[in-house]
């Protein structure tokens, strides 16, 4: 199974580390702040307090054994660059680095980052999409052309099957999943849960409580809206 190291445990780094760990992957969490390490120590496989710009310290904790390292350091751009360079020199094949600015991102790519992410920018894009299109619950970019959208169905979709709607032909969108809120009986009574149907059939009928997860272009979703 793939092993990960997450360096820098601010909001971005800790979120990545926790999510990977929850998905069952072995995570080595690294930060120079003892409190950050204490907060995450029980949630990941390994958590250590070291200076990640120190190559010897990184090797001492077995960094060379990970398949992918995520550099989550944000405000300290110099440290971000030094850590990325060090990881490259150690021989980490996959390095994902967080950038604060476009120039920072270009520098990280030049010195060896295999992928650069702009946490604040990407979250801003998602927020903007939800603000201008309230029916879009989530928006994940796959490429400059294609995205995955989670959206509330238009009113005229309610009560109709996917076959009747023929969304692929009408809007050039593919429905890849459906979310539905259902009431489940528990010891405490009935509770509302969300079910995910990852392979909807042509006979599945859309209800007002559903969310449609579709893949396509921004233009196609705009047409649907």
User: CA-to-CA distance for 135 and 39, rounded, in angstroms?
Assistant: 36
The sign one gets for the Cα dihedral 102, 104, 109, 110 is positive
Using DSSP bridges, classify how beta strands 94-98 and 68-71 pair: parallel, antiparallel or unpaired: parallel
- Mean pLDDT (whole number) for 137-149: 71
pLDDT of residue 192: 74
Question: Residues 179-212, buried b or exposed e (16+ Cβ, 10 A)?
Answer: beeeeeeeeeeeeeeeeeeeebeeebebeeebbb
**Tens-digit pLDDT profile for residues 40-80:** 999 999 999 999 999 999 999 999 999 999 999 978 899 99
Domains defined for the chain, CATH in brackets: 3-117 (3.40.50.720), 122-224 (3.30.70.1450)
Across the chain, the runs of DSSP E, i.e. the strands, are 3-7, 26-31, 46-49, 68-71, 94-98, 115-117, 136-141, 146-151, 174-186, 189-197, 210-217
pLDDT bucket at 196, cuts 50 / 70 / 90: confident
**Tens-digit pLDDT profile for residues 180-190:** 887 777 777 77
pLDDT of residue 19: 85
pLDDT of residue 131: 47
Tokens of 220: 């196609």
Q: Are 195 and 180 in contact (CB under 8 A)?
A: yes
Q: Is the model's pLDDT at 127 over the cut of 60?
A: no
**Tens-digit pLDDT profile for residues 19-40:** 898 888 999 999 999 999 999 9
pLDDT of residue 49: 97
Q: Is the model's pLDDT at 128 over the cut of 60?
A: no
Question: Cβ of 80: how many Cβ atoms within 10 Å?
Answer: 26
Q: Is the model's pLDDT at 129 over the cut of 70?
A: no
pLDDT of residue 126: 57
2: exposed, middle or buried (C-beta count within 10 Å: 0-12, 13-18, 19+)?
A: exposed
Strand order in the sheet with 68-71: 46-49, 26-31, 3-7, 68-71, 94-98, 115-117
Q: Are 178 and 211 in contact (CB under 8 A)?
A: yes
DSSP 178-222: EEEEEEEEETTEEEEEEEEESS--TTPBP-TTEEEEEEEEHHHHH
Across the chain, what does the average pLDDT equal? 86
φ, ψ of residue 89 in degrees (nearest 5): -65, -35
- Tell me which range, 47-51, 152-156, 168-172, 193-197, is most confidently predicted by mean pLDDT: 47-51
> Which position has the higher pLDDT, 165 or 193?
165
């Amino acid at each position: 199974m793939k092993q990960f190291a997450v360096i820098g445990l601010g909001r971005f780094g800790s979120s990545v580390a926790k999510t990977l760990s929850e998905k069952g992957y072995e995570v080595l969490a690294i930060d120079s702040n003892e409190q950050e390490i204490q907060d995450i120590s029980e949630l990941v496989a390994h958590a250590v307090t070291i200076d990640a710009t120190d190559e010897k310290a990184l090797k001492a904790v077995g960094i060379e054994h990970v398949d992918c390292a995520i550099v989550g350091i944000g405000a300290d751009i110099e440290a971000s660059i030094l850590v990325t360079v060090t990881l490259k020199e150690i021989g980490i094949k996959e390095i994902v680095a967080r950038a604060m600015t476009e120039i920072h991102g270009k520098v990280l790519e030049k010195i060896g980052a295999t992928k650069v992410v702009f946490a604040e920018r990407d979250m801003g894009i998602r927020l903007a999409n939800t603000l201008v299109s309230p029916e879009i619950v989530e928006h994940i970019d796959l490429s400059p052309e294609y995205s995955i959208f989670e959206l509330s169905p238009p009113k005229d979709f309610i009560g109709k099957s996917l076959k009747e709607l023929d969304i692929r032909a009408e809007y050039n969108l593919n429905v890849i999943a459906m979310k539905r809120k259902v009431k489940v009986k528990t010891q405490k009574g009935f509770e509302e849960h969300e079910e995910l149907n990852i392979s909807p059939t042509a006979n599945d009928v859309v209800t007002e409580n559903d969310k449609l997860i579709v893949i396509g272009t921004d233009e196609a979703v705009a047409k649907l809206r």
